[in-house]
Amino acid sequence: MLFAWILWLFFFRITEHISTVTVTRGDIESNVTALGTLQPHSYVDVGAQASGEIRRIRVQAGSKVQRGDLLVEIDPSVQQAKVDVDRSALDSLRAQVASAKAQAVLAQQQYARQQRMAGDGSTRDEDVQTAYAALLSARANIDNLRAQIEGAQSNLKGDEAQLGYTRIYAPMSGTVVTLDAREGQTLNATYQTPNILRIADLSTMTVWTQVSEADIAHVKPGMPVYFTTLGSDERRWTGTVRQILPAPPNPNSSPDATGQQSAAPAAAQPAGKVVLYTALFDVANADGLLMPQMSAQVFFVIARAKQAVIAPLSALTPVDARAGRYTARVDQDGRIVTREVRIGVHDRLNGAVLSGLQPGERVVTGITRTRASDGRFTW
């Protein structure tokens, strides 16, 4: 009998090994993660409205400019010639008006003379009518020349405007982020305005974030959000959701200077492809570390708790997960007891305990059983 007991002790006895984790305090948050791209909050593409050769470019990529600064000079020869022709034509018309006025004065005098002679019976009615018709014709000629002057003045204004377009000024203050033209290049603005450069205000950046359709319902305007960039994982930039675009982005569209997508309808999504929606938020960039086209790891904060009692979800058994009801096995001086636990804010790994556990208590994460014959001798 003693031998059988010793045999069971060394070869058949089962030993339990309990794994636990200690409940602690800490910060926890529930969030939606997504990827985003940084763009300037406001920018403008500067183009050329006049055709000609670029004589001088006064800026380069990275230059700081103020609204009204001279950026580009285009050869004004053609436009200046048109203005000169318009001014000559206008001077000619004004001289013709002066001559027509003199003719009108003469016609008026001749008509008055014919009227006096008609009163004396010394002229024919036909001569009076001829003089009156000459007077009306002289006045009509003056009106015609004045109309031509107005048209010539309009042409002059248009050509002067075209001449002014040969000097391109900054429409806003900011930084030259791209420069697409070179000195000596010939521009043709007849059918389409050629882009020369882009000016952007880099003091405020907008993060264009692509959120999956499974998560977009949790993202709301006004909710807090933060992000990190590649190479700056330790720094967080924070903001608030400004806008959620109502339709997925069109693959052929891009944000314009006001931060809006093209009005073209979204293209049909291929079957099985995840639909992404665009959420926008702005962030200050006073130190200039954020640059256009940077990638961002974005976190939309649904809820957060500071210095909460934290327990691992892997140690909890769901009873009603939506209501936050769980059970947990707690090691109390070697005795395992089951408790009801309520969880509030939680992420994928941990939850904030509302009731049922206290800091310092140990919750059971697993129990393993081994035989003595496995080579683990336990006395």
- State the residue for tokens 């496995």: 374
Helix, strand, coil percent content, the chain, rounded in steps of 5: 30, 45, 30
In percent, the amount of the chain with pLDDT more than 90 equals 61
Domain presence at residue 294: yes
Quick check: is 139 in a domain? yes
252 pLDDT tier (thresholds 50, 70, 90): low
Q: Would you state the pLDDT for residue 4? A: 55
Q: Establish if 349 belongs to a structural domain.
A: yes
Give residue 200's pLDDT band: very low, low, confident or very high (50, 70, 90). Answer: very high
Asked if residue 216 has pLDDT above 90, the reply is: yes
Q: What's the number of domains the chain is made of? A: 3
**pLDDT, tens only, 321-378:** 888 899 998 888 878 889 999 999 988 889 999 998 899 889 888 777 665 555 444 4
Rounded to whole angstroms, the Cα distance separating 299 from 232 reads 15
Domain membership of residue 49 (yes or no) is no
Whether 220 and 296 map to the same domain: the answer is yes
132 and 152 both lie in a single domain: yes
Q: Residue 267 pLDDT > 50, yes or no?
A: no
Cα 199 to Cα 175: distance, rounded to the nearest angstrom: 5
Residue 80: what pLDDT?
A: 94
Residues in the chain: 379
Residue type, 101: K
Residue 173 confidence class, pLDDT cut points 50, 70, 90: very high
Domain-terminating residue out of 141, 164, 187 = 164
**What integer pLDDT is reported at residue 189 of this predicted model?**
84
pLDDT above 70 covers a percentage of the chain that reads 87
pLDDT at 275 exceeding the cut of 50: yes
Note whether 376 and 362 are within 8 A (CB): no
Are residues 267 and 350 located together in one domain of the fold? no
pLDDT at 322: 86
Q: Which two tokens stand for residue 249?
A: 């982005």
292 with 211, same domain: the answer is yes
User: In terms of domains, do 344 and 295 share one?
Assistant: no
Whether 327 and 276 map to the same domain: the answer is no
Residues 330, 277 share a domain: no
For helices 125-164 and 77-120, the axis angle rounded to 10 degrees is 160
Give domain status of residue 350, yes or no.
yes
What 8-state DSSP symbol labels residue 191?
Answer: S
pLDDT band at 302 (very low <50, low <70, confident <90, very high): very high
Q: Say if residues 19 and 364 touch (Cβ distance below 8 Å).
A: yes
**CATH code, domain carrying 203:** 2.40.30.170
338, 345 contact by CB (below 8 A): no
Q: What would the mean pLDDT of 180-194 be, rounded to a whole number?
A: 87
Which pLDDT belongs to residue 265? 37
Per-residue pLDDT of 15-40, as tens digits, reads 667 788 888 999 999 999 999 999 99
Domain interval for residue 151: 77-164
Domain boundary pick from 275, 303, 331: 303
Asked if the structure places residue 69 within a domain, the reply is no
Confirm whether 328 is domain-assigned. Answer: yes
Residue range 178-184: mean pLDDT, rounded: 92
pLDDT of 262 strictly over 50: no
**Does residue 140 sit in the same domain as residue 83?**
yes
- pLDDT of 108 > 80? The answer is yes
Predicted confidence band of residue 85 (pLDDT cuts 50, 70, 90): very high
Neighbours of 287 (CB within 10 A): 6
Let me know whether 293 and 313 are in one domain.
Answer: no
Judge if 204 and 125 occupy the same domain. no
Say which CATH number the domain at 367 has.
2.40.420.20
User: Is residue 100 pLDDT above 50, yes or no?
Assistant: yes
Residue 159 phi, psi (nearest 5): -70, -30
285 & 365 share domain: no
Q: Do 118 and 39 belong to one domain?
A: no
pLDDT at res. 259: 46
Would you say the pTM of this structure is higher than 0.85?
Answer: no
Residue 59 is assigned to a structural domain of this protein: no
| Mean pLDDT taken over the chain | 86
Strands (E), 172-275: 174-179, 186-187, 195-212, 224-229, 232-244
Last residue of a domain, one of 250, 284, 303: 303
